[in-house]
Structure 1
Amino acid sequence: MESIARQSVKMCPFMQRAGSVQGLQVLHNANLPAVARKCPVVGHAMSRAYATASGTGARRATAPEPKAGSANEMVANHATQESLFDYDGLFETEIEKKRLDKSYRFFNNINRLAKEFPKAHRDLEDDKVTVWCSNDYLALSKNQQVIDVMKKTLDKYGAGAGGTRNIAGHNRHALKLEAEVAALHKKEGALVFSSCYVANDAVLSLLGQKIKDLVIFSDELNHASMIVGIKHANTTKHIFRHNDYDQLEEMLQMYPRSTPKLIAFESVYSMSGSVADIDRICTLAEKYGALTFLDEVHAVGLYGPHGAGVAEHCDFEAHRLAGIKSLPDKSVMDRVDMITGTLGKSFGTVGGYVAASQRLIDWFRSYAPGFIFTTSLPPSVMAGAAEAIRYQRSHLELRQLQQLHTGYVKQGMKELGIPVIPNPSHIVPVLVGNPDLTKQASDLLMKNHKIYVQAINFPTVARGTERLRITPTPDHTDDLSDILLDAVDDVFNELQLPRVRDWESQGGILGVGESDFVEQSNLWTEEQLSLSNNQLNPNVSDPVLGNLEVSSGIKV
Structure 2
Amino acid sequence: MESIAHQSVRLCPFMRKTIASAHGVRQLKSANLAAMAEKCPVVGSALHVRGYATTAAGSAAAVARKVGGEAVADHATQESSFDFDGMFEKEIEKKRLDKSYRFFNNINRLAREFPMAHRQEEDDKVTVWCSNDYLALSKNQQVVDAMKRAMDKYGAGAGGTRNIAGHNRHALKLEAEIAALHKKEGALVFSSCYMANDAVLSLLGQKVKDLVIFSDELNHASMIVGIRHANTTKHIFRHNDLQHLEEMLQMYPKSTPKLIAFESVYSMSGSVSDISKICDLADKYGALTFLDEVHAVGLYGPHGAGVAEHCDFEAHRLSGISSVGGARTVMDRVDMITGTLGKSFGTVGGYVASSRRLIDWCRSYAPGFIFTTTLPPAVMAGAAEAIRYQRRHLDLRQQQQRHTSYVKKGLKDLGIPVIPNPSHIVPILVGNADLAKQASDMLMENHRIYVQAINFPTVARGTERLRITPTPGHTDDLSDLLLDAVDDVFARLQLPRVRDWESQGGILGVGEKDYVEQENLWTEEQLQLTNDSLHPNVLDPVLQQLEVSSGIKV
Q: Name the TM-score, length of structure 1 as normaliser.
A: 0.91
Task: Report the Cα distance in structure 2 between the residues aligned to 1:289 and 1:69, rounded to whole angstroms.
Answer: 60
Task: Report the Cα distance in structure 1 between the residues aligned to 2:247 and 2:329, rounded to whole angstroms.
Answer: 26
Task: Report the Cα distance in structure 2 between the residues aligned to 1:12 and 1:510, rounded to whole angstroms.
Answer: 78
Residues 40 and 67 of structure 1: is their aligned pair in 2 closer, same or farther, counting only changes over 3 Å? Answer: closer
Amino acid paired to 1:372? I
Shift of 1:82: 1.5
**Equivalent of 1:99, from 75, 78, 96?**
96
Task: Report the Cα distance in structure 1 between the residues aligned to 2:49 and 2:457, rounded to whole angstroms.
Answer: 46
Residues 40 and 410 of structure 1: is their aligned pair in 2 closer, same or farther, counting only changes over 3 Å? Answer: closer
Amino acid paired to 1:453? V
Amino acid paired to 1:305? P
Q: SS state of the match for residue 421, structure 2?
A: coil
Q: Which residue of 1 aligns with 2:26?
A: 13
Q: SS state of the match for residue 378, structure 2?
A: helix
Residues 59 and 165 of structure 1: is their aligned pair in 2 closer, same or farther, counting only changes over 3 Å? Answer: farther
Tell me if 1:434 matches 2:457: no
Task: Report the Cα distance in structure 2 between the residues aligned to 1:477 and 1:304, rounded to whole angstroms.
Answer: 23
Q: Which residue of 1 aligns with 2:186?
A: 189
Q: SS state of the match for residue 273, structure 1?
A: coil
> What per-residue deviation string (whole Å, max 9, x for no partner) do you get for residues 50-106 of structure 1?
324459999999996599866486542101222322211111111111101111000
**Equivalent of 1:171, from 159, 168, 192?**
168
How many positions carry a matched residue from both structures? 529
Task: Report the Cα distance in structure 2 between the residues aligned to 1:432 and 1:357, rounded to whole angstroms.
Answer: 43
The answer (yes or no) to whether the contact 2:32–2:60 under 8 Å persists in 1 is: no
The answer (yes or no) to whether the contact 1:431–1:466 under 8 Å persists in 2 is: yes
The residue correspondences of 1:102-251 to structure 2 (distance < 5 A) are: 102-251=99-248
The answer (yes or no) to whether the contact 1:63–1:80 under 8 Å persists in 2 is: no
> What per-residue deviation string (whole Å, max 9, x for no partner) do you get for residues 427-461 of structure 1?
00000000010000000000010000000000000
Task: Report the Cα distance in structure 2 between the residues aligned to 1:68 and 1:381, rounded to whole angstroms.
Answer: 57
Range 59-68 or range 361-370, more displaced:
59-68
Residues 408 and 80 of structure 1: is their aligned pair in 2 closer, same or farther, counting only changes over 3 Å? Answer: same
Shift of 1:49: 3.8
Alpha-carbon RMSD across the aligned residues, in angstroms, is: 2.4
The residue correspondences of 1:20-39 to structure 2 (distance < 5 A) are: none
Task: Report the Cα distance in structure 2 between the residues aligned to 1:62 and 1:168, rounded to whole angstroms.
Answer: 57
Task: Report the Cα distance in structure 2 between the residues aligned to 1:414 and 1:477, rounded to whole angstroms.
Answer: 18
Q: SS state of the match for residue 243, structure 1?
A: coil
Q: Which residue of 1 aligns with 2:252?
A: 255
Q: Which residue of 2 aligns with 1:306?
A: 303
Shift of 1:126: 0.4
Task: Report the Cα distance in structure 2 between the residues aligned to 1:277 and 1:59, rounded to whole angstroms.
Answer: 77
The answer (yes or no) to whether the contact 1:66–1:73 under 8 Å persists in 2 is: no
Q: Which residue of 2 aligns with 1:273?
A: 270
Tell me if 1:395 matches 2:393: yes
Shift of 1:516: 1.4
Task: Report the Cα distance in structure 2 between the residues aligned to 1:59 and 1:14, rounded to whole angstroms.
Answer: 20
Amino acid paired to 1:428? V
Task: Report the Cα distance in structure 1 between the residues aligned to 2:299 and 2:56, rounded to whole angstroms.
Answer: 69
Amino acid paired to 2:545? N
Deviating runs (4+, > 3 A) in structure 1?
11-17, 36-49, 52-75
Q: Which residue of 2 aligns with 1:355?
A: 353
The answer (yes or no) to whether the contact 2:216–2:261 under 8 Å persists in 1 is: yes
The answer (yes or no) to whether the contact 2:136–2:472 under 8 Å persists in 1 is: yes
Q: SS state of the match for residue 115, structure 1?
A: helix
Q: Which residue of 1 aligns with 2:483?
A: 485
Residues 378 and 61 of structure 1: is their aligned pair in 2 closer, same or farther, counting only changes over 3 Å? Answer: farther
Task: Report the Cα distance in structure 1 between the residues aligned to 2:59 and 2:461, rounded to whole angstroms.
Answer: 50
Shift of 1:515: 1.1
Shift of 1:178: 0.3
Q: SS state of the match for residue 263, structure 1?
A: strand
Task: Report the Cα distance in structure 1 between the residues aligned to 2:442 and 2:66, rounded to whole angstroms.
Answer: 72
Q: Which residue of 2 aligns with 1:29?
A: none
Amino acid paired to 2:366? A
Q: SS state of the match for residue 430, structure 1?
A: strand
Q: Which residue of 1 aligns with 2:495?
A: 497
Shift of 1:44: 6.0
Name the % identity: 79
Q: SS state of the match for residue 134, structure 1?
A: coil
Residues 99 and 70 of structure 1: is their aligned pair in 2 closer, same or farther, counting only changes over 3 Å? Answer: closer
Shift of 1:404: 0.3
Task: Report the Cα distance in structure 2 between the residues aligned to 1:62 and 1:110, rounded to whole angstroms.
Answer: 62
- Gaps of at least 5 residues in structure 2 are 5-23
Residues 39 and 109 of structure 1: is their aligned pair in 2 closer, same or farther, counting only changes over 3 Å? Answer: closer
Q: Which residue of 1 aligns with 2:547?
A: 549
Q: Name the TM-score, length of structure 2 as normaliser.
A: 0.92
Residues 44 and 465 of structure 1: is their aligned pair in 2 closer, same or farther, counting only changes over 3 Å? Answer: same
Task: Report the Cα distance in structure 1 between the residues aligned to 2:27 and 2:180, rounded to whole angstroms.
Answer: 82
Amino acid paired to 2:530? S
Range 269-278 or range 82-91, more displaced:
82-91
Task: Report the Cα distance in structure 1 between the residues aligned to 2:513 and 2:115, rounded to whole angstroms.
Answer: 37
Q: SS state of the match for residue 381, structure 2?
A: helix
> What per-residue deviation string (whole Å, max 9, x for no partner) do you get for residues 135-181 of structure 1?
00000000000000000100110000010011111100000000000
Q: Which residue of 1 aligns with 2:332?
A: 334
Amino acid paired to 2:304? G
Residues 14 and 364 of structure 1: is their aligned pair in 2 closer, same or farther, counting only changes over 3 Å? Answer: farther
Q: SS state of the match for residue 73, structure 2?
A: coil
Shift of 1:118: 0.3
Task: Report the Cα distance in structure 2 between the residues aligned to 1:13 and 1:425, rounded to whole angstroms.
Answer: 86
The answer (yes or no) to whether the contact 1:422–1:519 under 8 Å persists in 2 is: yes
Residues 498 and 537 of structure 1: is their aligned pair in 2 closer, same or farther, counting only changes over 3 Å? Answer: same
Q: SS state of the match for residue 113, structure 2?
A: coil
Amino acid paired to 2:459? V
- Gaps of at least 5 residues in structure 1 are 5-10, 18-35
Task: Report the Cα distance in structure 2 between the residues aligned to 1:290 and 1:302, rounded to whole angstroms.
Answer: 28
Q: SS state of the match for residue 93, structure 1?
A: helix
